[in-house]
Amino acid sequence: MTRLSLFSLARGAALLALLSPAAQAQAPAPSSPFGVQFPPDYLGRLGGTEPVASSESGFGVRNFPLPFSVPVSISLVKKPNYWETSLNSRVDDTTYGIGIYDNGLNAKEGLFKVVADHDPWEGWQYGAMYQNQGALSRVNLGYAALFDDRQLRLLGNVGLGAQGDLLTPYGQLQATRTFSVAKDNYNLRTSLTGRVFAYPVAGKAQGSLDTEFGATVRPVPQLNLSATHLERFVVGEAALSAQGFSRYQESNLDATYRLPTSEAPLEFGALRSRLTQYWTSEETALRGDLLFKAEGLPSLIGPTVGYRWSKNAEGAWLFGITSLPR
């Protein structure tokens, strides 16, 4: 990693901490014996950390929390030709980010991005994003409202987007409705999401509909079985292709067995098997996870090994690190 990228990260961390609306509202945190201040909720923030060690994604860590009074996290992931190096924060329903972001495993370089988005589940929405290499940049303003006992969300946005040589205004309408049934040893859920992106100057529009079904069953306390299926239907064309969708189908089957644990500092925590069928690309992936419980960590963590095969390509082994909430 270059000296410039390290300097940029340090400067970005200070900027995120200073610009955060909650920066002045936090009480001073206690110091460790090494002089580093750890906020009271620091261990809880570790739950969002994503270790990356995979032949598909690279090697490193995403969203590792820094010991600031405001929640700022760092991502460092090595790809074959570049490093992901970014700082991110989420404060008062606002997401901030700056750095080099994922641009695909084998790209020559990552995407530089600066983003600030205020996107609460309900209320006013506004934000801006810049990306280099001709990727989508935009500014937007909108509002989200909740109905039907907060199970129906309607979102409307207007904005100005740029991608490649195209600069065009756009409008977005989105509706999401969830249904769920929860009992002692099972739950059922359904989610419907409809979207419309319209580009009046470019003369294009696209509509899409996601239907997702899920079920979780716990036949015995230690065993958790879950299944999900996603169907996406699309009509029309998005003028800004990064906002567009395509036909998609995916099914997942997971089985997780949690082993009895003790007060030992390190022990086996769970065994998990995951089967994913990508119907659109006719690919199948099977993974097995061995997860450990380590003292001081809010999540189980361990190695994952899998195999992916498809109708039109050779199979490939999958290796990595995975985690599971306690």
The CA angle 120-126-128, to the nearest 5 degrees, is: 120
Predicted pLDDT of residue 49:
80
Which residue from 11, 2, 136 is spatially nearest to 82, judged by alpha carbons?
A: 2
Specify the pLDDT at position 37: 62
Residue 274 has pLDDT above 80, yes or no: yes
Each residue's pLDDT tens digit, 225-269: 999 999 999 999 999 999 999 999 999 999 999 998 888 888 899
DSSP structure string for 44-74: HHGGG-EEEEETTTEEEEEEEEPSSSS-EEE
Average pLDDT value for residue range 186-201 = 97
pLDDT band at 210; cut points 50, 70, 90:
very high
Q: What is the pLDDT of residues 102-157, one digit of tens each?
A: 999 899 999 999 999 999 999 999 999 999 999 999 999 999 999 999 999 999 99
pLDDT at position 297 is 75
Residue 44 has pLDDT above 50, yes or no: yes
Backbone phi, then psi, for 258, in 5-degree steps? Answer: -90, 125
The per-residue DSSP string of 271-318 comes to EEEEEEEETTTTEEEEEEEEEEEETT-SEEEEEEEEEEEESSS--EEE
Name the pLDDT band for 189 (thresholds 50, 70, 90): very high
Burial bucket for residue 231 (CB in 10 Å: 0-12, 13-18, 19+): middle
Compute the average pLDDT of residues 31-56. Answer: 69
Range 279-292 average pLDDT? 93
290: tokens are 């061995």
Angle at 159 between CA 153 and CA 162, to 5 degrees: 130
CB crowding 282-304: b at 16 or more within 10 Å, else e: ebbbbbebebebeeebebbbbeb
Q: What is the pLDDT of residue 16?
A: 52
Q: How far is CA 36 from CA 6, 41, 76, 149, in A?
A: 19, 15, 21, 45
Contact 70, 27 (CB under 8 A): no
Mean pLDDT value across residues 46-66: 83
Tell me the C-alpha distance between 291 and 273, whole Å: 11
- Over residues 172-193, the mean pLDDT reads 95
The alpha carbon torsion through 214, 219, 225, 227 (nearest 10 deg) reads -30
Query: Rounded distance, CA 20 to CA 45, Å?
Result: 17
Q: What is the C-alpha to C-alpha distance for residues 12 and 181, in angstroms, rounded to an integer?
A: 44
pLDDT for 36? 59
Average pLDDT over residues 293-319: 84
Q: What does the domain layout of the chain look like in residue ranges?
A: 1-118
pLDDT value for 74: 95
pLDDT of residue 312: 78
pLDDT at 321: 79
> If you average pLDDT over every residue of the chain, what do you get?
87
Query: Pseudo-torsion of CA 109, 113, 171, 118, nearest 10°?
Result: 150
The amino acid occupying position 304 is T
Give the residue, 42 or 216, on which the prediction is more confident: 216
What would the mean pLDDT of 297-309 be, rounded to a whole number?
A: 86
* pLDDT tens readout for residues 1-42: 444 444 445 445 444 544 444 444 444 444 444 455 677 777
Q: Which amino acid is at 47?
A: G
pLDDT tens-digit map of 75-110: 999 999 999 999 999 999 999 999 999 999 899 999
Paired residues of 250 in beta bridges: 230, 278
* CB burial string 242-276: b at 16+ within 10 A, e below: ebebeebebbeebebebeeeeeeeeebbbebebeb
Q: Please, what sign has the CA dihedral across residues 210, 112, 61, 96?
A: negative
**Higher per-residue pLDDT: 23 or 69:** 69
